Amino acid sequence: MVVNSLEHHLKEGINHECKLCNQMFDSPAKLLCHLIEHSFEGMGGTFKCPVCFTVFVQANKLQQHIFAVHGQEDKIYDCSQCPQKFFFQTELQNHMMSQHAQ
């Protein structure tokens, strides 16, 4: 059996916090889905990938894109000022603002 790469790095049982609204999720996949919902807000019918900013007109297309293109990646955004890493650029930006702002 070939292991589905989408499931490869999805670890359960660790809390993952949304840096935008501080909600906790028990898997990176759930956080990912939640962050997609954030990207739906105020988009007027279009859905923007929070990682690469590609725009989709259907929510499920964006979701498929994120899991296929970004879902199996480790946290790819690392903070230049501390050892923390993040799944999304928006998370990193939020972290920089809240943790490293003057």
Q: What is the three-class DSSP state of 78? A: strand
Alpha-carbon gap, residue 55 to 95, rounded angstroms: 24
- Rank residues 21 and 43 by Cβ distance to Zn ion and give the closer one: 21
Rounded to 5 degrees, what angle do the CA atoms 45, 67, 21 make? 65
Options 4-12, 23-31, 40-48, 86-94: segment touching Zn ion (CB under 5 A): 23-31
Residues 28-87 that bind Zn ion (CB under 5 A): 49, 51-52, 54, 79, 81-82, 84
Binding residue (CB under 5 A) for Zn ion from 18, 31, 32, 62: 18
Query: What residues line the site for Zn ion (CB under 5 A)?
Result: 18, 20-21, 23, 49, 51-52, 54, 79, 81-82, 84
